[in-house]
Amino acid sequence: MSHILSWVVFLPLLAIPALFALPREKGKWVALVVTLADLVIGMPVIFGFDRAVVGVSDPNQMQFVEKVSWIPSLGVNYNIGVDGVSITMVLLTLIIGVLAVLASWRVETFTRGYWSMYLLLQTAMLGVFVSLDLILFFFFWEIMLFPMYFLIGIWGGPRRVYAAIKFFLYTLLGGIAMLLCFIAMWYYSPGERTWDMIELVQRVSAGGHFDGPMIFGIEFTKVIFVALFIGFAIKVPIFPFHTWLPDAHVEAPTAISVILAGVLLKMGTYGFIRINFTMFPDTFMWFRDALVVLAVINIVYGALCALAQTDLKKMIAYSSVSHMGFILLGIAAATPQGINGAMLQMFNHGTITAMLFLLVGVVYDRAHHRQINGFGGLASVTPVYAAITSVAFMAAIGLPGLSGFISELLVLSGSFKVYQTATIISGLGIIFGAGYMLWAYQRVFFGKVNEKYQEMADMNFVELASILPLLVIVVYLGIFPNHLIVFFEASMNHVSGLLLR
Amino acid sequence: MYNTLPFLGLMPAHVLIGLAMLFFILAKATPGLKKLPALPIFLAVLAVAFFLETQGSGSHEIFFGMMVVDSFSRLYDQIYYIVSAIFVLMMAYSYELDRDNDWENFALMSCLLLGMMFMSTAGNLLMAVIAIELASLPSYLLVGLNRKNAASKEASLKYVLFGSFATGVMLYGMSLLFGLTGALGFSEIWNGLGAESINQPVFYVAIGMTLAGMVFKVAAVPFHFWCPDAYQAAPTPVTAFLSVAPKVAGLTLMIRFFGEILAVQGEALTSMLSVIAMVTMTLGNFAALKQTDLKRLLAYSSISHAGFLLIGIAVLNEAGRQAVFFYVPIYLLMNLGAFMALMLLSKDNNYELSSFKGMIRTNPLVVVGLAMCVFSLAGIPPFAGFIGKFYLFKVAIEEGLYLLVAVAGINSVVGLYYYVNILKTMVIDKQEQPANVAEAKIPIVFVATCAVPLVLFGIYWVPLLEWAGKATLFQ
């Protein structure tokens, strides 16, 4: 089983022919079996992972490494492996991959197309998190785009075409900026030219520099840093590049919203940690204040926007913008606490927001609208649904005892040492968060029962099966956060050291 | 000083001249000959020429330096044969052409092919003009091949006028160069101009005007105006062919022309060519955004691709030449594949975007093939178009042409919009009218032969790299 990581990445892709060999209506079963099998064969990776080994800036410390020459004349390798930075993201992707299949159980049109795009997307997402070669990383990053375009564009809501093309154009713009930076970084690598990300981080931490010429009269590293930052920031998304997100979320089918919020957004912050910041630590220090300002804008502006929404999905989309701000704040602070908190927040936001979107999907399937004011008194009609939603909303607010609290606490306490004012303002974001979440909950579940929905059915088995695992994770990590933190603590502390050097 | 080398080096050209003679003169002289199947004859002769090209070796200056036959020209000639073979096969499946004139069509095709071959072997500006004209005249006629279509005739005439104008400008530029240096051979011109000339305006005027003929063939700004009309009105196989082969031939002529420059002249020429590249890709892309006729849209998209290819020319080095050669087979596959798919999907020669709505319901395989070609044109990995663009970006970054790179990057994003719009119409939109079901199996095989290699090369492009490595000039 020496190629286990490759199997984890490519198993979904390999299953696509099975979709066309079997009858149409078996598609969802194929997808479920494949994603479950992927989760199972991923377990040896998760549990066989040595948590004490740092990785990050030492190619010899990466685990489950597979390295094969791909394009020799260019020095590009098929090079994959995991360390503390990526292992939790792989776990998250595997879990969300299974649950989102359940969320799309009711897809009936063009099922073969849907599931083949879905499985391709799953391979691409896993590939991004395990790639250790810049070109391979870029390949997986971009392969994600066209399945996503079709998934939103064909199976989405009324304005799906607009949302899909907006998503596509925005992310491609970021992708092209990234590609050009990668080529420049390769050409002006410290030492011998290489596409190996870990190798590059190692050389930079040993005092190497990307020694390029001035670009448009500005220092090379600054231009590359900012262009890379924009490339990743579009994906996160960070203000002012966030406008594609609400559109994409609102129009995407439930399962795709779940993947989008649960996994895709994390790629941006993962890119920050893996490439953008660790490869340019000096420029990071130069840009750090701006990062903190952007983080605070994300937190407060996202929360205020969420407060103003009348559509449940749009509200959650903006709450995503707000929560992603915490991740950026934690990374910008770069203290061990802050950056561990950011990593934990990446996982927690993935599970919590996925849960929120799944819950909105439940009510949308029944009512065919998502207007917050269009419901009322659902608590008495669908008690199970109301109970689960209350836990999810509390987790999103950051109630102690649930996972969101721990990561926000870590981020804020980590950043308070460096940026007091920014941390205090960000604290306000949490209050706004409580505001919009509780207000929305009150309008949907309490008050007079809406006549139209008196007969609404409570959650069925498939819906429960998709949400309960996430609920368990959220509660469990609220009480024992350390069981996840140990996976990445060594690596993230090292990242903190690299950034603050 | 008579030797046999000219005849051996130009053997494939002689074979094609023979072919043109057969189709033009022998067919008129002996009426019975026309009963023979033209298509197999043409393909067989192409195969022979292809084989002869693979057997050639070394670099030979022939006809007193008028032509240079080397690995560069041999490789590009092979590409022309492949494109021509695909073209005649497409013609055989097109409903837009009348079958009676097959022999004339093949005769025109042979002359066009000869013209393109001479463009990539030219070593002298006079030869260049002859080659351009030899390639242009059959092109004018091919555009007007559809005699019943008035638009076709109009486009052909426009094409003639533009072509004559471009040649005129080129001849004027040549006369200036001849006046300045007393020579028309490429290396003599650059040596004659010398290092000091880059400070004099006449240098830029003369070079710029001489470029006109080549730019016209490449369909780059400012000699691109003929392109949309000609592409839209010409029969689809002709459009597909014109969008690929003469463009490549024009690029090879540019590579030959700039292959001999002095090092000091490099910077001035690079900035001149990168301006042309930037304007071409931007104009082509933004004009394509508004198009509703798919052939016209692909015409503008091919203009913008010409702009991208000019990046490889503008860097004026070996890596650039390789990047161009690397892009060419990919561009050929994706463009021919796209035109082929459109030809199969279209009904009654109607290429309006709206008539393609929801095509995936009736022709899933062809649309999937088209989608691969279109994503490749847009430069999305894992399709080969991305790799082609990647190498062009790479050579430009290595030369430090950051403005060019930034413009090219933004253009890639702009281009995505209209490419994806095609797919949106075919895949997402609802079908409005009963669509044409492509029943023939063989054309679907064609689309697959274009689309499948795009994915394979997109993932593993070492074979292409090795091939491109041979295109180093003068070997």
The ipTM, to two decimals, is: 0.88
User: What is the mean predicted confidence (pLDDT) over B115-128?
Assistant: 89
Under the banding of pLDDT at 50, 70 and 90, the label for residue B1 is very low
Question: Are B381 and A150 within 8 A, CB to CB?
Answer: no
Under the banding of pLDDT at 50, 70 and 90, the label for residue A180 is very high
Of A1-10, A350-359, B148-157, highest mean pLDDT: A350-359
CA distances, B276 to each of A346, A487, B405, B416 (Å): 46, 54, 13, 22
Query: Domain total for chain A?
Result: 1
Segment A26-35, tens digit of pLDDT: 888 888 999 9
- Side-chain-facing half-sphere of B94: CA atoms under 13 Å: 25
Question: Are B427 and A177 within 8 A, CB to CB?
Answer: no
User: What is the mean predicted confidence (pLDDT) over B254-281?
Assistant: 87
Question: Are B390 and A183 within 8 A, CB to CB?
Answer: yes
Least CB-CB distance to A150: which of B382, B409, B427?
Answer: B427
CA distance B259 to B331: 23
Share of chain B above pLDDT 70, in %: 93
Segment A233-253, tens digit of pLDDT: 998 888 888 889 888 888 888
Return the structure tokens found at B85. 């073979």
pLDDT for residue B308 is more than 50: yes
Find the closest chain A residue to B375 by CA distance. A146
User: What is the mean predicted confidence (pLDDT) over B27-56?
Assistant: 80
User: What is the mean predicted confidence (pLDDT) over A152-181?
Assistant: 89
The DSSP output letter for B84 is H
pLDDT for residue A387 is more than 80: yes
Contacts of A20 (CB under 8 A, 6+ apart): A112, A116
Model pLDDT, residue A292: 92
b/e burial code for range B122-135 (CB count within 10 A of at least 16 → b)? bbbbebbbbbbebb
Least CB-CB distance to B382: which of A143, A160, A187?
Answer: A143
Size of interface A-B (CB pairs under 8 A): 70
Return the structure tokens found at B160. 């003639």
Least CB-CB distance to A176: which of B397, B413, B427?
Answer: B413
CA distance A1 to B23: 64
Question: Are A177 and B403 within 8 A, CB to CB?
Answer: no
Question: Are A215 and B402 within 8 A, CB to CB?
Answer: yes
| Mean per-residue pLDDT of chain B | 84
Find the closest chain B residue to A214 by CA distance. B400
Q: Are A35 and A15 in contact (CB under 8 A)?
A: no
Of A265-279, A440-454, B423-437, highest mean pLDDT: A265-279
Under the banding of pLDDT at 50, 70 and 90, the label for residue B433 is low
Q: Letter for the amino acid at A149?
A: Y
User: What is the mean predicted confidence (pLDDT) over B251-268?
Assistant: 85
Q: Mind telling me how many Å the CA of A210 is from chain B's nearest CA? A: 14
Lowest mean pLDDT among A301-315, A366-380, B396-410: A366-380
Model pLDDT, residue B438: 59
Question: Helices B236-258 & B318-345, crossing angle to 10 degrees?
Answer: 170
Return the structure tokens found at B212. 């006109």
Question: Are A161 and B424 within 8 A, CB to CB?
Answer: yes
User: What is the mean predicted confidence (pLDDT) over A133-150?
Assistant: 91
Long-range contacts (CB closer than 8 Å, 24 or more residues apart) made by B193-202: B193/B262, B193/B265, B194/B262, B195/B262, B195/B264, B195/B265, B197/B265, B198/B264, B198/B265, B198/B267, B198/B268, B202/B176
Lowest mean pLDDT among B172-176, B242-246, B429-433: B429-433
Segment A278-304, tens digit of pLDDT: 889 888 889 889 999 999 999 999 999
User: What is the mean predicted confidence (pLDDT) over A23-44?
Assistant: 88
Least CB-CB distance to B416: which of A72, A172, A183?
Answer: A172
The DSSP output letter for B352 is B
pLDDT for residue A229 is more than 90: yes
Model pLDDT, residue B320: 87
Of A187-191, A223-227, B346-350, highest mean pLDDT: A223-227
Model pLDDT, residue B434: 64
CA distance A56 to A83: 7
CA distance A415 to B217: 61
Place of tokens 């003639």: B160
The structural domains of chain B, with segments of one domain joined by +, span: 267-475
CA distances, A218 to each of A221, A222, A224, A226 (Å): 9, 7, 10, 11
Interface of A with B (CB under 8 A): 70-73, 138-139, 142-143, 145-146, 149-150, 153-154, 160-161, 164-165, 168-169, 172-173, 176-177, 179-180, 183-184, 187, 213, 215-216
Burial of A151 (0-12, 13-18, 19+ CB in 10 A): buried
Largest CA distance in chain B: 71
> Can you give the residue range of the structural domain that contains A359?
4-500
Question: Are A179 and B393 within 8 A, CB to CB?
Answer: yes
Cα–chain center distance at A309: 23
pLDDT for residue B427 is more than 90: no
Under the banding of pLDDT at 50, 70 and 90, the label for residue B437 is low
Which chain B residues contact residue A121 at CB under 8 A?
A: none
Measured from the Cβ of residue A443, the count of other Cβ atoms closer than 10 Å reads: 18
Question: Are A70 and B460 within 8 A, CB to CB?
Answer: yes
CA distance A400 to A411: 15
Cα–chain center distance at B187: 25
User: What is the mean predicted confidence (pLDDT) over B86-101?
Assistant: 77
User: What is the mean predicted confidence (pLDDT) over B355-362?
Assistant: 82
Model pLDDT, residue A129: 92
Q: Are A173 and A165 in contact (CB under 8 A)?
A: no
- DSSP result, B125-193: HHHHHHHHHHHHHHHHHHHTT-TT-HHHHHHHHHHHHHHHHHHHHHHHHHHHHHHHHS--BHHHHHHHH
Q: Letter for the amino acid at B336?
A: L
pLDDT for residue A309 is more than 50: yes
Which chain A residues contact residue B398 at CB under 8 A?
A: 187
Model pLDDT, residue B475: 56
User: What is the mean predicted confidence (pLDDT) over A472-478?
Assistant: 91
B229/B14: higher pLDDT: B229
Model pLDDT, residue A127: 93
User: What is the mean predicted confidence (pLDDT) over B449-458?
Assistant: 86
Tell me if the pTM is above 0.80. Answer: yes
Which chain B residues contact residue A73 at CB under 8 A?
A: 462, 465
pLDDT for residue B190 is more than 80: yes
Of A372, A370, A371, A437, nearest in space to A402 by CA: A437
pLDDT for residue B300 is more than 80: yes
Cα–chain center distance at A475: 20
Model pLDDT, residue B98: 67
Model pLDDT, residue A444: 86
According to DSSP, the residues that pair with B185 across neighbouring strands are B124
Model pLDDT, residue A219: 87
| Mean per-residue pLDDT of chain A | 88
Question: Are B460 and A161 within 8 A, CB to CB?
Answer: no
CA distance B12 to B84: 14
Least CB-CB distance to A161: which of B397, B413, B428?
Answer: B428
Return the structure tokens found at B236. 């689809």
pLDDT for residue B207 is more than 80: yes
CA distance A166 to A176: 15
Model pLDDT, residue B11: 77
Model pLDDT, residue A208: 82
Model pLDDT, residue B472: 60
Helix (H, G, I), strand (E, B) or coil at A501: coil
pLDDT for residue B146 is more than 50: yes
The answer, yes or no, to whether the previous bond of B222 is cis (omega within 30 of 0) is: yes
Helix (H, G, I), strand (E, B) or coil at B398: helix
Long-range contacts (CB closer than 8 Å, 24 or more residues apart) made by B149-153: B149/B233, B151/B232, B151/B233, B152/B233, B152/B234, B152/B235
Question: Are B416 and A177 within 8 A, CB to CB?
Answer: no
Of A266, A320, A272, nearest in space to A92 by CA: A266
Q: Letter for the amino acid at B223?
A: F
Contacts of B242 (CB under 8 A, 6+ apart): B139, B142, B143, B230, B231, B234
Interface of B with A (CB under 8 A): 375, 380-382, 386, 390, 393-394, 397-398, 400, 402-403, 405-406, 409-410, 412-413, 416-417, 420-421, 424, 427-428, 460-462, 465
Model pLDDT, residue A454: 79
B243/B436: higher pLDDT: B243
Share of chain A above pLDDT 70, in %: 100
According to DSSP, the residues that pair with A470 across neighbouring strands are none
Q: Are A287 and A226 in contact (CB under 8 A)?
A: yes
- Chosen for mutation from B308, B370, B394, B455 (greatest number of chain A CBs closer than 10 Å) is B394
Which chain B residues contact residue A149 at CB under 8 A?
A: 420
Under the banding of pLDDT at 50, 70 and 90, the label for residue B197 is confident
User: What is the mean predicted confidence (pLDDT) over A156-169?
Assistant: 87
Model pLDDT, residue B376: 92
Count H helices, E strands: chain B?
20, 2
User: What is the mean predicted confidence (pLDDT) over B450-470?
Assistant: 84
- DSSP result, A289-321: HHHHHHHHHHHHHHHHHHHH-SBHHHHHHHHHH
Share of chain B above pLDDT 90, in %: 19
pLDDT for residue B6 is more than 60: no
CA distance B3 to B9: 11
User: What is the mean predicted confidence (pLDDT) over A407-432?
Assistant: 88
Model pLDDT, residue B9: 64
Model pLDDT, residue B250: 92
According to DSSP, the residues that pair with A71 across neighbouring strands are A76
Question: Are B380 and A142 within 8 A, CB to CB?
Answer: yes
Number of residues in chain B: 475
Q: Are B312 and B279 in contact (CB under 8 A)?
A: no
pLDDT for residue A1 is more than 60: no
Return the structure tokens found at A112. 């073969």
pLDDT for residue B59 is more than 60: yes
CA distance B438 to A386: 53
Segment A206-217, tens digit of pLDDT: 888 888 888 888
